[in-house]
Amino acid sequence: MCGRTACNLKRETYCKALSYKDRNDKLYRQPEWYELENGGHEFKASNNIAPTDVTPVLVSGEEFVDYPSRLLTPMVWGMIPPWHKGNLNDHGLSTNNCRIENLTTSKLYSGPLNDGRRCIVVCEGFYEWKTTEGPGKKKPYFIHTPQEKEVSVYDKNAWESGHWSGKSGWCGPSLLKLAGIYNKWKSLTGDIYSYSVITMESSKTFSQLHHRVPAVLENEQMIDDWLDSRRISSSRAISILHPTDNLTWYEVSSIVNNSRNKSENCNKPISKIVSKSSTFMTSWLTGKNKNDDSNEENSMRKKPKI
């Protein structure tokens, strides 16, 4: 399952971190940021992205422009049924995830799949809730792709200070890349593009958190095959997807439970968050000690003789 993600970077950073080589390229290139009109819906960076929010997805340029390339474009999370009439959010279906077992038979998903509308959902990571002892109690965790030693996926500065060049590509933290499918919906305000994340039964390793896991694209070959719908058929593309063990996670604060909370602390390890109360107490004790030291020093001074 995937019901919340972190997408808190600049669009330029996403483009750099998704650099790639085409088959005949000698140098790395970046996907072009491509703005869809999308009925006025825009990407807003956040560490707490929820369904119906807009996030960047990677698509084949051949589906939108006249030349082969990769495009990074913002789309609404949660596929809107093409037959839906009404407002964006009132179709009554839960479409942020689509089960791989139902892709080829679903009335909603089989059409876009057969039309080659495959995309890659990019993010720093996603959240999952693990049931703990006690009724209704769950702990949130942040799941991401393994990083190089001493690289903190939650540190925005680590991302924004990453280096890119045509010769070496991206040198910085690694994004998580999830297989998805997208479609176009005609609203009263114009065309809106929306997507769903493909999920499957978890691997033995990840099942300790949840019995479902997003379909992770782990290498450049999988990414290329998933995007190239003209070369790779839908059945073959589905066959390359498998539950991954190449994930790592840590516990985060329950502040992420509320999707309206966009704090920078949402995807930090819970051990890295200093509460306001403890900060206040530390400040108060520091100030008190200074006052005590000052009073003691004053009391030890000799009074001048009159």
Residues annotated as catalytic are 2, 128
- Give the torsion through C-alpha atoms of 118, 124, 130, 135, to 10 deg: -100
Q: Which residues contact 179 (CB under 8 A, 6 or more apart)?
A: 118, 120, 121, 197, 198, 214, 215, 216, 217, 226, 241
Report the C-alpha gap between 172 and 148 in whole angstroms: 9
Instruction: Determine what percent of the chain falls in helix, strand and coil, rounding each to the nearest 5.
Output: 25, 30, 45
Q: Which residue has 């840590």 as its token pair? A: 250
From residue 129, give the alpha-carbon distance in Å to each of 52, 132, 254: 20, 9, 10
d(CA 200, CA 179): 11
CA 55 to chain centre: 8
Residue 227, H or E segment: helix 220-227
